Amino acid sequence: MNVDLMRKIDYYAGVPLTFIATGIVKLMDRLSQPTRAIPKRVLFIELSEMGSAILVDPAMQKIKHEAGAELFFTIFESNKASLKLLGTIPEENIFTIRANNLFLLAFDTLRFFWWTREQRIDSVIDLELFSRFTALLTGFSGATNRVGYYGFHNEGLYRGEMLTHRVAYNPHIHIAKNFVALTNALTSDHEEIPYSKTLITDDDIKLRKAEIDDATLRGMHARVRECYPDYESDKHRIVLINPNASELLVQRRWMPERYVQLVQEVLDAYSDVIVLLTGAPSERDEAEGMSRAIERDRCINFAGKLKLTELPALYSIATLMVTNDSGPGHFSSITDMPTFVLFGPETPSLYGSLGNFTPIYAGLACSPCVSAANHRKTACEDNVCLKAITVEQVFKEISRILSPARVSAHNPGGS
């Protein structure tokens, strides 16, 4: 299903369903008279954002180590691979929901309610800011503790009354800190209105790094050499370009012609650089068109060449990456590779990478124009916020890494 259809279903079906479900959930709670459960089997729900599987990891590590909880996760099947990058959640503890069509969505939803009871889930943390669907999953999960964001006196985005722990979403702090606030609410030893009255520091959202052995790195050098036979890891530096963004918010895309110009200028300025255009298999044709427009033999269409789980190895041998505000900007944060992320309709203050990351952001008066308050759907059809970012500006930023020309330090297992 496309994004707009899912939004319409979530609104037109979600609002009345959560209203009806509120009465049912309250009756169920009254009949069962649940007491506060010690969180031992904790389920996180985040369906649609692949980058959130990285951003939530500090929160998951916190509940795992402080409460000794076993962790579970529910996500759309198409996004499951993002959970494998850090491997925090065991394969057998991941429940996937298919969103290909309404029948599969409904079928997997019913399976979910059986699965949570079979797994004896005692606590659910709903990571979504606005989804009525995840509110329903949380409410009928059978869990004693149900944690999520609640509107309180904010208007709009009604999600029913499904929660036992109502957390105030803070639009002024990074989303990773908001995720930690949810786990703090779950482990609080007293009730609060609203949760969570805790101080969350930058140390609380430090991200673990991927562990990649030398054999894997040598294998990745070989994969690059398959596409560019002249590649020598002790002579060439790799610059990654990710010109894509998910269909959730197409306004995040910098103009393709500017990527073309940027790559041309990089290759003309640095004779030891090769550029790999990255992306999913579905984006390979688009990347091929861009590669042809660039017209340089050191520009390689690498889209679709790797599985998502292989990306950390690529990032570990690359010198830097330039990307739109999308998943790769977060996937790279589990490595030390410098990443330059172009922001437009969203802000790096709330959604910036937790890694070695430089935001490039025009900061117009209208930005950011998407938030939890508008279901992350903007009325903008002219993303001037990204048009305001020039090729010269991006080239200057990345030249801090590329100049003076030097062999990349990321060269273990080279030729």
Residue 245 pLDDT: 65
Residue 404 pLDDT: 62
Element housing 154 (H / E): none
Residue 371 pLDDT: 76
Q: Which residues of 356-375 are buried (b: 16+ CB within 10 A; e: fewer)?
A: ebbbbbbeeeebbbbbbeeb
Omega prior to 338 cis, within 30 of 0: no
Cβ pair 142, 121 in contact under 8 A: yes
Which of 152, 153, 200, 193 lies closest to 172, judged by CA? 200
Between CA 46 and CA 80 the distance in angstroms is 10
Residue 377 pLDDT: 77
Read off φ and ψ for residue 285, nearest 5 degrees.
-65, -40
Q: Look at the block and give the residue holding tokens 């040598």.
A: 218
Residue 248 pLDDT: 61
Domains and CATH numbers, the chain: 3-205 (3.40.50.2000), 214-402 (3.40.50.2000)
Tokens of 135: 């509110």
Which of 352, 351, 373, 250 lies closest to 3, judged by CA? 250
| Digit-coded pLDDT (tens) for 248-296 | 667 888 999 999 999 999 999 999 999 999 999 989 999 999 999 999 9
Residue 50 pLDDT: 85
Which of 172, 171, 124 lies closest to 148, judged by CA? 124
Cβ pair 265, 287 in contact under 8 A: no
Residue 413 pLDDT: 45
What count of other Cβ atoms lies within 10 Å of the Cβ of residue 43? 27
Cβ pair 135, 126 in contact under 8 A: yes
Which of 206, 201, 410 lies closest to 313, judged by CA? 410
Residue 49 pLDDT: 82
Tokens of 326: 């999308």
**Roughly how many angstroms between the first and final C-alpha of the chain, as a whole number?**
46
Which of 375, 371, 384 lies closest to 178, judged by CA? 371
Tens place of pLDDT for every residue, the chain, 415 residues? 666 777 778 877 888 989 899 999 988 888 876 667 789 999 999 998 888 899 999 999 999 999 999 999 999 999 999 999 999 999 999 999 998 888 999 999 999 999 999 999 999 999 998 889 999 999 999 999 999 999 888 766 788 999 999 999 998 999 999 999 999 999 998 899 999 999 999 999 999 999 999 999 999 999 999 999 999 999 999 999 999 866 666 788 899 999 999 999 999 999 999 999 999 998 999 999 999 999 999 999 999 999 999 999 999 999 999 999 989 999 999 999 999 999 998 889 999 999 999 999 998 999 888 877 777 778 888 889 999 999 999 999 999 999 965 433 344 444 4
**Residue 247 DSSP code:** T
**Residue 366 DSSP code:** T
Q: Which residues are CB-neighbours of 150 under 8 A, at least 6 positions away?
A: 159, 163, 166, 167, 168, 194
Tokens of 84: 């494998």
